Amino acid sequence: MKAKTEKRPKPPPLGKGCKEIVWLTSEASPYAKTGGLADVSGALPVALSERGHRVSVIMPYYPQMMGEYNRKINVCFQLLGVPFLGRTEWAQILEHKVNPNLTYYFIEYHSFFNRPALYDWLGMEYGDNSERFIFFCRAAMQAILALRIKPDILHTNDWHTALCSVYMKSPLYRNYHNFDNTASILTIHNLAYQGVFHKSHLYFTGLGWEYFTMRCLEFHDQINLLKGGIMTADFISTVSPTHAQEILSPMYGFNLDAPLRERSVAGRLRGILNGIDVEKWDPQNARNIPAAYSVEDMSGKAVCKAELQKAFKLQQRPHSPLMGIVARLAYQKGIDVFAAAIEDMLAYDDVQFVILASGDTALQNWLLALAVKHPAKFAVHIGYSDKLAHLVEAGSDFFVMPSRYEPCGLNQMYSMRFGTPPVVRATGGLDDTVVNFNPKDYSASTGFKFWDLNQKSLLNTLRWAASVYRLDPEGYRQTQINGMNQDFSWNRTAGQYEELYEDATSAV
């Protein structure tokens, strides 16, 4: 960490139509990551800044997680007073300036964030997570005041920062001129995690009991931080258009479907598809795969397939359809249905499968048993490797995602970039990104979809995809090309968020 910086210069005026954005998150790549929230928080602010907006990202400082970035950050504000539990706690603000329009700010408070992991350790959630992230929300609001930022947009993400929407409209902060014209956005990345705690934890927030109501934080006689954000943010977004509709139902709403329906009826809920790093997931980038290839010359894909079969110790079968999976072995991903469905294919069909996965021990053992039973057709690697993930995406002929629910999904976009048509259950972002194969007109087809999550539907769709590979090479080839030509860039996503920001600021 470098020494304290000199006095901060006044930022230049923004261009016409550009916004002052504060982005609040519990994690961001490459600094600290556990999941997709970090990818979004590491990429979308960059894309927005490159379009002329000034973006300040505020997140906790995790010294044990940040590796080389510990040496790249500066102290920019040494004593940040944070009102907490009836007293003032002192934190520091650190910064890493990425480009003239983008700065990442880190709240340093070792008691809460100097730990070996972000949210849990050895499978057990930290017992003080409510205090940790309530403190962070209060510190983030104080940092905005200390840094003299007057945001047009206060963009919160998931339960960890949703409380800031409540704070901004509370007596604690609404009279500060910093927030005179600020619109708040809450993006829900995973509705299953809501920040639900005992009602006594309301004390940590510094808010009064008038906020413990159905119109704000109260949730079955507990506090629900995500619900507070849902009820108070000016607009809510989630990470795909279809998922924005799914979460209005009891099946996908995780007991928050009623308040979400209320906000949706008021026109305050949007679904905006995430993007991907199109430079990292690029078949023309031979640094990540054995051989580069492109829409014009696909010969390198056959090399990748042979290397994938070799890496997983499968028989070299260049003309057999090879289907790949990269996944967490969790209930959400539907791998249990997949494992049961493919027994018949492994027994009778000329097909191969490669699986790169980790997670549920029972599912691991099930997959490993299939590999022992069918060594020529089925192979599993337990764990995760970025190099192997690229190889599976590039070397497979199809990529399988039988998810029970998938708010956005990334692997189907990776696979299309690599000319590997995905086979997906039509849910959430999978439904939004994949165009089902049409044998009569495959000019728009990018993959294969099924709707009912059961063994029969999945098996029939896998066999359908394999038959197209063997019997309709023109249709398969066009499906590859269509997928490779899709625009899944963060620049596309940033343009849609600009529209949301414009609507939000107009409504304030």
Q: What is the pLDDT of residue 285?
A: 86
DSSP letter for 434, please: -
H or E element at residue 329: strand 322-329
In DSSP terms, 80 is beta-bridged to 91
Query: SS3 letters for 441-475?
Result: CCCCCCEEEECCCCHHHHHHHHHHHHHHHHHCHHH
CATH number at residue 495: 3.40.50.2000
Q: Residue 109: inside a domain, yes or no?
A: yes
Q: Residue 416: inside a domain, yes or no?
A: yes
Q: What is the pLDDT of residue 1?
A: 58
- Are both 305 and 215 inside the same structural domain? no
Q: What is the pLDDT of residue 5?
A: 43
Residue 160's nearest CA partner among 112, 215, 219 is: 112
Task: Write the pLDDT tens digit of every residue in 396-421.
Answer: 999 999 999 999 999 999 999 999 99
Q: How many CB atoms lie within 10 A of CB 348?
A: 9
Q: Under DSSP, is residue 151 helix (H, G, I), strand (E, B) or coil?
A: coil
15: pLDDT strictly greater than 90: no
- Are both 345 and 458 inside the same structural domain? yes
DSSP 223-235: EEHHHHHHHH-SE
State the alpha helices, DSSP H only, in 51-179.
110-113, 129-146, 158-168
Q: What is the pLDDT of residue 6?
A: 43
- Are both 440 and 362 inside the same structural domain? yes
Tokens 């009778």 belong to which residue?
348
> What region, left, alpha or beta, does residue 341 occupy, with left being phi > 0 and alpha being psi -120 to 50 degrees?
alpha
Task: Write the pLDDT tens digit of every residue in 274-295.
Answer: 999 999 999 998 888 999 999 9
- Are both 503 and 481 inside the same structural domain? no
The total number of structural domains in the chain stands at 2
Contact 500, 226 (CB under 8 A): no
Distances (CA, A) of 380 to 109, 357, 366: 42, 8, 10
For the chain, what is the mean pLDDT? Answer: 96
2: pLDDT strictly greater than 60: no
Contact 427, 404 (CB under 8 A): yes
Contact 204, 134 (CB under 8 A): yes
- Domain hosting 25: range is 20-275+491-507
131: pLDDT strictly greater than 70: yes
Q: Residue 88: inside a domain, yes or no?
A: yes
Tell me the C-alpha distance between 32 and 345, whole Å: 41
Angle, alpha carbons 323-324-327 (nearest 5°)? 145
- Are both 247 and 351 inside the same structural domain? no
Q: Residue 280: inside a domain, yes or no?
A: no
- Are both 119 and 100 inside the same structural domain? yes
CA terminus-to-terminus distance, the chain: 39
Single-letter amino acid, residue 39: D
Residue 455: HSE in the Cβ half-sphere, 13 Å Cα cutoff: 8
DSSP letter for 400, please: E
**CB-based contacts of 9, cutoff 8 Å, min separation 6:** none
Residue 123 binned pLDDT confidence (cut-offs 50, 70, 90): confident
Average pLDDT over residues 28-45: 94
Q: Residue 377: inside a domain, yes or no?
A: yes
Contact 273, 487 (CB under 8 A): no
Q: Residue 10: inside a domain, yes or no?
A: no
Average pLDDT over residues 412-432: 98
- Are both 131 and 229 inside the same structural domain? yes
H or E element at residue 107: strand 102-108
Tell me the C-alpha distance between 500 and 305, whole Å: 42
Q: Residue 153: inside a domain, yes or no?
A: yes
**CB-based contacts of 280, cutoff 8 Å, min separation 6:** 288
3: pLDDT strictly greater than 50: no
Tokens 């603000």 belong to which residue?
93
Task: Write the pLDDT tens digit of every residue in 457-491.
Answer: 999 999 999 999 999 999 999 999 999 999 999 99
Q: Counting beta carbons within 10 angstroms of the beta carbon of residue 172, is it exposed (0 to 12), middle (13 to 18) or buried (19 or more)?
A: middle
Contact 168, 138 (CB under 8 A): no
DSSP letter for 503, please: H
8: pLDDT strictly greater than 70: no
Q: Give the 3-state secondary structure percentages of the chain, helix then strand then coil, rounded to 5.
A: 40, 20, 40
373: pLDDT strictly greater than 60: yes
Q: Residue 12: inside a domain, yes or no?
A: no
- Are both 54 and 127 inside the same structural domain? yes
Whole-prediction pTM value? 0.92
- Are both 202 and 339 inside the same structural domain? no
The residue among 232 and 6 whose pLDDT is bigger is 232
- Are both 31 and 154 inside the same structural domain? yes
Tokens 């005026």 belong to which residue?
13
- Are both 65 and 154 inside the same structural domain? yes
56: pLDDT strictly greater than 80: yes
Cis before 283 (ω within 30): no
- Are both 206 and 82 inside the same structural domain? yes
334: pLDDT strictly greater than 60: yes
